[in-house]
């Protein structure tokens, strides 16, 4: 094999190493924002949480209604057929109105209804955040699986060409059979990896489709070029913990639940308070009998009810309320601890992820240089075939790790936002736009 043939073959191998980056991709129709939008339309967990919130909001009207005037009317008609004489037709009309003047139970229930809605709203927003993260994670899983398959296909092509190179060198007597056998072994191993990666991609695609309940394109465009993700302006994990304690949605829900339990305890402790209500009614009786006079009546009443003894239920309700209050306090303490852990962990993961991306970008560049050096060394006889194969493996490994690190860093940034209750659809849109811009630059 002359030098020109060797040079052309080396160029062919070099091209295969970067072909998976440079090849144009198919037009895609599902970016991350669209995936999230589909989830908000179809995801049973989200739709269930939305209906639950709607139901809880009705507690406001239900808590206020008993304190408003209660107006009711009634009408009845009766026919009496005596054994002798004419039948007697009697019609009765009534209209009544009642108003609670004081009822500690109802007043407390109205306050609790507001807290129930606050808790439900916090739980709903937290569920929405979790769905954002769940869909984003599944979406990134597909992108990672695509990159893994694309990389192993490029690696297989590069090793196949290196195998061909070793065979030609063996035929002309410039290398040993060992070079050919090493390349063949590496090629067979990569084929097995390709099968595994192809199956993994199919599983990840199915998982995302089942989450979105829509078909997804054959190929989804991922990160194509280096992305610029800004570090957070707050650089102290304790500051993030402080923000999380004020804004974390689980803490907001637990706080509302605790306040509701506090009101319930006070309500049960004041069981002895009277209930006072007023009512007025108008009644009219019409009859067709000349011997009976139509009877109209008007009634005004004031009712005061004082509980004295009801079988010990009040004492039992107090003990129950104390236990529920203590439970709510413990749940709030747990939410605070979880918030500290989550905020601190998310911040550190985000910062470490960005640093890892930077390091792997440098590793990718140095791996390309190392591969070229090993290839040239193999050409002049100072490197053996296994050195080239190992250098190829190192390059593709660094590219796989870099791809995963980029998506992991983006996800960690979203998790940090969620830990402080600030993960909105807008944040998803920003990440989606970042990915799209990286693929066209």
Q: What is the pLDDT of residue 378?
A: 72
Q: What is the pLDDT of residue 177?
A: 85
Give the model's confidence band at 1: pLDDT under 50 very low, under 70 low, under 90 confident, else very high. very low
3-state SS class at 62: helix
Q: Write down the pTM of the prediction.
A: 0.84
Give the model's confidence band at 103: pLDDT under 50 very low, under 70 low, under 90 confident, else very high. very high
Statement: residue 21 has pLDDT above 70: no
* pLDDT tens figures, 408-426: 999 999 999 999 999 999 9
| Residue pair 414/202 in contact by the 8 Å Cβ criterion | no
> Within a 10 A sphere around the Cβ of 296, how many other Cβ atoms?
11
Q: What are 320's two structure tokens?
A: 């129950």
Beta strands, E only, 268-378: 275-287, 295-305
Residue with tokens 């004041």: 270
* pLDDT tens figures, 39-88: 999 999 999 999 999 999 999 999 999 999 999 999 999 888 776 667 77
CA-to-CA distance for 240 and 266, rounded, in angstroms?
A: 35
- In the predicted model, what is the mean pLDDT of residues 258-287? 94
* pLDDT tens figures, 370-384: 988 888 887 777 776
CA-to-CA distance for 4 and 87, rounded, in angstroms?
A: 125
The separation between CA 394 and the C-alpha centre of its own chain, rounded to angstroms, equals 36
Statement: residue 15 has pLDDT above 50: no
> Within a 10 A sphere around the Cβ of 26, how many other Cβ atoms?
10
| Residue pair 415/346 in contact by the 8 Å Cβ criterion | yes
Q: What is the pLDDT of residue 246?
A: 96
- In the predicted model, what is the mean pLDDT of residues 358-379? 89
Q: Give the bridge partners for 79, in sequence order.
A: 89
Domains belonging to the chain, first-starting first, are 3-79+87-440 (1.20.1600.10)
Q: What are 314's two structure tokens?
A: 């009040």
Q: What is the pLDDT of residue 107?
A: 96
Q: Which H/E stretch holds residue 358?
A: helix 313-380
3-state SS class at 88: strand
- In the predicted model, what is the mean pLDDT of residues 107-132? 97
Residue 381 phi/psi, 5-degree rounding, is: 95, 10
CA-to-CA distance for 156 and 176, rounded, in angstroms?
A: 22
Kindly compute the dihedral angle of the four CA atoms of residues 410, 420, 212, 195, in this order, to the nearest 10 degrees.
Answer: 40
Handedness of CA 258, 259, 260, 265 (dihedral sign): positive
CA-to-CA distance for 390 and 388, rounded, in angstroms?
A: 5
Q: What is the pLDDT of residue 29?
A: 65
CA-to-CA distance for 353 and 318, rounded, in angstroms?
A: 51
Q: What is the pLDDT of residue 205?
A: 96
């Amino acid at each position: 094999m002359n030098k020109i043939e060797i040079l052309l073959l080396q160029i062919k191998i070099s091209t295969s190493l970067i072909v998976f980056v440079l090849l144009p991709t198919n037009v895609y129709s599902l970016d991350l924002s669209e995936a999230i939008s589909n989830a908000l339309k179809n995801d049973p967990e989200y739709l269930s949480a939305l209906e639950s919130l709607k139901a809880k909001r009705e507690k406001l009207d239900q808590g206020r209604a008993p304190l408003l005037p209660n107006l009711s009317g009634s009408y009845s008609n009766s026919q009496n057929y005596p054994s002798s004489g004419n039948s007697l037709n009697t019609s009765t009309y009534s209209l009544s109105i009642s108003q609670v003047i004081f009822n500690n139970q109802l007043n407390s229930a109205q306050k609790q209804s507001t807290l129930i809605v606050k808790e439900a709203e916090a739980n709903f927003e937290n569920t929405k955040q979790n769905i954002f993260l769940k869909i984003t994670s599944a979406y990134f899983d597909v992108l990672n699986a695509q990159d893994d398959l694309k990389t192993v296909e490029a690696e297989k092509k590069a090793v196949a060409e290196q195998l061909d190179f070793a065979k030609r060198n063996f035929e002309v007597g410039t290398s040993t059979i060992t070079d050919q056998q090493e390349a063949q072994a590496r090629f067979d191993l990569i084929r097995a990896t390709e099968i595994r990666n192809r199956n993994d991609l199919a599983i990840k695609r199915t998982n995302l489709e089942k989450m979105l309940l829509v078909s997804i394109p054959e190929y989804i465009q991922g990160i194509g070029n280096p992305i610029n993700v800004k570090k957070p302006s707050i650089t102290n994990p304790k500051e993030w913990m402080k923000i999380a304690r004020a804004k974390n949605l689980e803490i907001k829900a637990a706080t509302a639940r605790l306040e509701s339990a506090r009101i319930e305890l006070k309500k049960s402790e004041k069981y002895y308070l009277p209930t006072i209500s007023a009512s007025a009614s108008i009644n009219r009786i019409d009859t067709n009998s000349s011997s009976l006079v139509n009877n109209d009546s008007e009634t005004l009443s004031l009712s005061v009810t004082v509980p004295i003894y009801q079988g010990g239920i009040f004492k039992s309700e107090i003990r129950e309320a104390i236990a529920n209050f203590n439970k709510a306090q413990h749940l709030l303490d747990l939410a605070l601890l979880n918030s500290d852990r989550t905020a601190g962990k998310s911040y550190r993961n985000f910062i470490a992820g960005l640093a890892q991306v930077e390091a792997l970008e440098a590793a990718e560049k140095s791996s390309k240089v190392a591969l070229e050096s090993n290839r040239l060394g193999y050409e002049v006889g100072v490197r053996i075939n296994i050195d080239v194969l190992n250098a190829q493996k190192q390059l593709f490994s660094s590219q796989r790790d870099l791809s995963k690190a980029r998506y992991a860093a983006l996800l960690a940034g979203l998790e940090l936002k969620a830990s402080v209750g600030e993960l909105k659809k807008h944040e998803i849109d920003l990440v989606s736009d970042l990915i799209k811009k990286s693929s066209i630059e």
